[in-house]
Amino acid sequence: MTDRKLIELANDVMANSYSPYSRFKVGAAVECADGSIYVGCNIENAAFGVTVCAETVAIASAVAAGQRGFKRIAIISEGGAYSFPCGTCRQFLNEFSPELEVLCARSDGRYVSYPLSSLLPMAYGRD
């Protein structure tokens, strides 16, 4: 699976985003240790704090299917900026894969890549 293909899958699931409040669609696709792929989109709620991010939905879907280790995650959203994960998602990702590679894409498909450890230094984790 190429970086570009993973970003394409994140872009595809973005169409399912339920974001009537922010009107900001986000999509994510995570590649698991065994090569399988799970996707997620942001899901908002009238009680704003209940909203869940696309990255968290993708990881939760994978964990529910029995996955525990992840190699790469691609994140994309509408607009011109690179899609970096929020702080809560960084912590959520770190729980399973501190070595994760994070691909942060723009809507035009350009992307930057960072190790999760650089986005969440001195992380609080299982170890």
Q: List the catalytic residues.
A: 55
The Cα 94–Cα 89 span in angstroms is: 8
Among the listed ranges 20-28, 29-37, 63-71, 116-124, the one in contact with ligand THU (CB under 6 A) is: 20-28
Can residue 103 be called a binding residue for ligand THU (CB under 6 A)?
A: no
Which residues 75-94 are close enough to bind ligand THU by CB under 6 A? 85-86, 89
Q: Is 42 in the site for ligand THU (CB under 6 A)?
A: yes
45, 18 in Cβ contact below 8 A? no
Closest distance to ligand THU from the beta carbon of 90 (Å): 8
Binding status of residue 24 toward ligand THU by CB under 6 A: yes
User: Binder to ligand THU among 51, 61, 107, 117 (CB under 6 A)?
Assistant: 51
Q: Which residues bind ligand THU (CB under 6 A)?
A: 19, 22, 24, 26, 42, 44, 51, 53-55, 85-86, 89
